[in-house]
Structure 1
């Protein structure tokens, strides 16, 4: 590795990964899945790095989840072949790419409509494959993709199963609505209810002679509770690999579990109650914090500082005069509210151990949003 070897030599802003913490996060989630007897299929949208994905697989992950074909292409090129594309594939340009990929690996796909399923089936037939495996995306409360659990999803799954070239093998969901939970007990209950609805729908489909193998909820905040629901076969958390302010606010991690921080420099102290750092929305993204917490990130170890505003190149801190000293040139570490878009804004992450930069981690799937 060329470049600085000491953390203090890094130019800022820079996304820094504590590799010891990251490895602990990876091992802990793998152990959770093993103990619950479920497969772990982490979502790589968080890190977008084949190097990290391989570490997750070596720790016990059964495969990976991606959102877009672009991410799948990067991971396939790196030798990863057990991939679930958890996003509807719509449009001829994507279908042509899917046709090519199906000749390379046995992708599992997601659909939430007959229209998307019929289009995917055309690509499958053109590829020469007999069938492709699909999961039906179910809306268990997030109100994004999918139909509600129960009768609506059962009807959709049966219609998709009749399309030549597709084999319905599972149900999936994303419990993004857990971010709105008002307490940890409320989050746990909501996660269990959502997973149970997925399991019950799978049982109905099995009674109707559909061989549902995969029952796959996906979220970091709900993973510990989803994995314990009888009938769940797989979990698909993503953010856990780094964690962020949102997983801390939603009781899924502590500040010490946040492996990725943005190293940033104080570039101005225009007033006693204000400071400016060189990480703005082009580095941190402008995603709000879960639960409505104010500010755009946690300043590690500095509760007297709040990152209350962002512009493109500036982070504006409010400074508690009763707090510690803060001068131009000081360096701070920011835990992003939402780590996934922050990673997607950078070309490289700096992996560190004991204050030394030991490797550069290329964000190889950065911008691969098609």
Structure 2
């Protein structure tokens, strides 16, 4: 029985649209992430999962420890449900959430917030200045891991932190050490140009080679610079962790002695954008089904919904992939529509009104913002339905 038959059989009693998670694929992907990490712990990026039940399932597997959250309100909520050791990966300017953090001993013990400037430190101190019985706030410093060449005329990597050199990090760490109630406990440096960019993209072989050359040079530069930064900051304070990498770079990042843990998120669901790496091959685990509601022509069907583009630079690669049955494509004139989506191809000839078309999202957790629950599939049956963040009434971003 192929995957399409399994999924159709497992969900025969459900009316689409709905989303599923193939547990065998999830576990296989998780095991491969652990293998690639070579014994270093993996911190789970919650933005790529966005289901508390699935997050807890993953954290219960060997090799995974701690959460990399995307907002402070999310982290506070997760701690209130029993999740521990959460690093908020992005700076926060949520005054109410900061005040809640400073006033809650358990949350302050389990949550670490991100900064990359003295402005962040000033903001945090201002937000918590009136909190009674204020708790110490744990701080992580974000380091720019981007690759810069040609005298600054070329850059690859996310535009994140202004902290790039050891002296930048030392200055901020020194300032932070003078502020009562704030404690630097970790460093983070996310090499997006390696971890989040596939080194085997479809199309131009020359472009693929250029990506690999850039990534090789970037990795060599970063291993030296990140090590120097970590060593410099350790002269000022004790660090509990140094976080780096992501799904696409785990086996490279763990080679650095300075890095104590790596992050991963997309690798669990293995969305479409992660098909284009030479170093690993994942199994699509998260999918959504849309029903065929029209047949405009012999080789055309129309499904309900589908306009779920991923974040990032707009383009065809940000659209969901019509996955099963294979061979369906979008109409160049309509693409993925808000309410209806025409799909073209010979495979459409065998589809009838009410049949399902299975899609993969371009990214991982963003799919969960469209659905209230995930139907967990084992073999050819649904074994559990679990809520997404949206299904629990949480819309953090």
Report the TM range for the smaller structure's normalisation.
0.7 to 0.9
Match of 1:232 among 250, 253, 259: 259
Q: Distance in 2 between the 1:326 and 1:195 partners?
A: 52
Q: Distance in 1 between the 2:262 and 2:367 partners?
A: 24
TM-score under structure 2 normalisation?
0.80
Match of 1:11 among 15, 31, 36: 15
Alpha carbons of 1:194 and 1:39: their partners in 2 closer, same or farther (altered >3 Å)? Answer: same
Alpha carbons of 1:110 and 1:326: their partners in 2 closer, same or farther (altered >3 Å)? Answer: same
Runs of 4+ in 1 over 6 A off after TM superposition: none
Q: Distance in 1 between the 2:58 and 2:317 partners?
A: 33
CA contact (8 A) 1:50 1:78 kept: no
Residue 68 (structure 2) aligns with: 65
Residue 189 (structure 2) aligns with: 173
Q: Deviations over 1:197-245 (max 9, x none)?
A: 3333112223x43333422114211222212222211111111121100
Give matches, 1:213-362, under 5 Å: 213-251=240-278, 254=281, 257-272=283-298, 274-281=300-307, 284-287=308-311, 294=317, 296-307=319-330, 309-319=335-345, 321=346, 325-362=350-387
CA contact (8 A) 1:173 1:218 kept: yes
Match of 2:119 among 99, 104, 115: 115
Give structure 1 stretches of 5+ with no counterpart: none
Q: Distance in 2 between the 1:253 and 1:10 partners?
A: 33
Q: Distance in 2 between the 1:263 and 1:296 partners?
A: 15
Q: CA deviation at 1:85?
A: 1.4
Q: Distance in 2 between the 1:53 and 1:269 partners?
A: 39
TM-score under structure 1 normalisation?
0.85
CA contact (8 A) 2:185 2:240 kept: yes
Match of 2:137 among 132, 138, 143: 132
Q: Distance in 1 between the 2:239 and 2:81 partners?
A: 30
1:363 aligns with 2:363: no
**Greater CA drift, 158-167 or 184-193:** 184-193
Alpha carbons of 1:76 and 1:322: their partners in 2 closer, same or farther (altered >3 Å)? Answer: closer
Q: Deviations over 1:175-208 (max 9, x none)?
A: 33334453584475245644553333112223x4
Q: Distance in 2 between the 1:353 and 1:40 partners?
A: 25
Q: CA deviation at 1:268?
A: 1.8
Q: CA deviation at 1:358?
A: 0.8
Task: State how many pairs are aligned.
Answer: 359
